[in-house]
Every structure is written in structure tokens, then in C-alpha cells.
Amino acid sequence: MAFTPTNLTDWIRSDKYHNHFLIPPNDALTAAVKLSEQNQFASYAVSEAQGKFLNLVAKSIQARRILEIGTLGGYSTIWLANALPDDGELVTCEISEDFAKIAQININNAGLMDKVKIIVGPAMTTLPNINPNASFDLAFIDADKQSNVEYFIQAKRLVRKRGVIIVDNVVRNGRVADPKQNDPHIEGVRKLLEYIKNDSTVEATTLGTAGEKGYDGFLYAVNMSSIN
């Protein structure tokens, strides 16, 4: 079967079509998108279908503790925290005080203030200070791409054996694989891929996604180290 190339218009239509069957409207998520749009950063959040995917991964592994690096407006935070049991906890790191304030509004609006803790400050500084009694089941990395390796190393330290680490934006419209491209975000993804290649205690794959946020992808990794 031959496929003709498609474009963003087709991907948006396709996402909307599938979501209409599979993802019921959620007022708190809709409000979070609206508030993010008013603050001009909605486009950096994951798509609705990707948010649901994160939620389902968390449910599949019965996650009780989730770590997020890069809160932004809290859109993925809400999707993830909605998968937690009553006594579950999500810790999310955000560098910007302004974003954290907006995220907190969105999280409160979703009724998740008791489950979600926002740590404000550069994750490079705050993550090494996290030493929980219980390890995390799942980590979602979606912050500055230059620091992907450092964040991944910290996530691996904090996530239990066979816990999952998902990294956003590892395809970037195919530019990560294009040798002509060398901006620091793309280099940050390449360094992560190189790091994982040389780390025998992690198994990973890239899941390319084309949808309303364009052509990008998640890196899906499982922590196979025995230290946790």
C-alpha cells in the first residue's frame, strides 16, 4: 500500500476525529488550555491525545508516584495526576515562577492540589535535592531540551526498577535526524540518545507522533537498573 505524504491539516483533523471517540471533554483541561493560550504558551503543552496516553501509561503501571520535569501550565500534570490513586503524589519541577503560578491555578481548578507539589526553581538545582522515601514509578521530562541528559540521569536515579521515563519532543519534525540541523535543543536530544545507547541499564524506543502539535515524538524508556 502506497501512502501519499500528509500535512498538519490532515493530522489535526485526524487527532480531532479520534479524540472525539476516545477522550471525553474535561472542563479543567479545557480551562488549562485557555489560560495557557492567554499567556501565549499553549503550543508547548502536549496534545490532548498525548496527555491521554500519559494518563494511560500511569494507570497501566499503577503509578502511585510521578515525577514531572517542566510543569509549564500544568496541562500534562493534570493528565498524569488524574491517573493517581487517592494517596498518590506527583512532584513537578518548574523553573519559572510565573508559569508555576498559572499551573497552580489550573491544578487547583482540577481539584488536584492535594496530590500535586510544584517545586519552583531550575530543575538542575532542585532535582538533586529530591530524596524521597519511596521511589517514583513514572517520570515525564518536558523541559529545556539542552539539559535532557542531566534530567534523564536524575529521573533514572529517582524512578524504581522497571519504572518508566518518557521524554517529550525527541523528533522535532524530523530535525533531530537531519545532520544540517544543530541548534542546542536538537543537540540536547541527540546527546540523550547517545547517552542511552551507552547505558546498558535502560531500554528505550522512540514513538513518533503526528497530530495537532505537528510531527514530534516521545522517547519511552524503562529503567532496568537494579539499584532502586
Which residues sit at the interface with ligand DHB, rule CB under 6 A?
44, 142, 168-169
Between 136 and 218, CB nearer to ligand DHB: 218
Which three-class secondary structure state does DSSP give residue 190? helix
- Partner interacting with residue 220 (select from Mg ion, ligand DHB, none; CB below 5-8 Å by kind): none
Minimum distance, C-beta of residue 88 to Mg ion, in the bound complex (Å): 23
Pairing type for strands 136-141 and 65-69 reads parallel
Separation CA 160–CA 10 (nearest Å): 39
Separation CA 205–CA 208 (nearest Å): 10
Binding mask 125-164 for Mg ion (x = CB under 5 A): -----------------x----------------------
Between 75 and 89, CB nearer to ligand DHB: 75
DSSP 8-state assignment for residue 62? T
Separation CA 46–CA 143 (nearest Å): 12
Residue number of the CB atom closest to ligand DHB: 44
36 binds Mg ion (CB under 5 A): no
Minimum distance, C-beta of residue 51 to ligand DHB, in the bound complex (Å): 12
216 binds Mg ion (CB under 5 A): no
- Partner interacting with residue 195 (select from Mg ion, ligand DHB, none; CB below 5-8 Å by kind): none
Sign of CA dihedral 78, 71, 68, 126: negative
Separation CA 8–CA 170 (nearest Å): 18
Region at 139 (left for phi over 0; alpha for psi -120 to 50; beta for the rest): beta
Minimum distance, C-beta of residue 204 to Mg ion, in the bound complex (Å): 17
Interface residue with Mg ion, options 168, 189, 192, 218 (CB under 5 A): 168
- All three cell numbers of 62, joined, read 499503577
Minimum distance, C-beta of residue 70 to ligand DHB, in the bound complex (Å): 7
Residue whose entry in the numeric block shows the C-alpha cell 510543569: 71
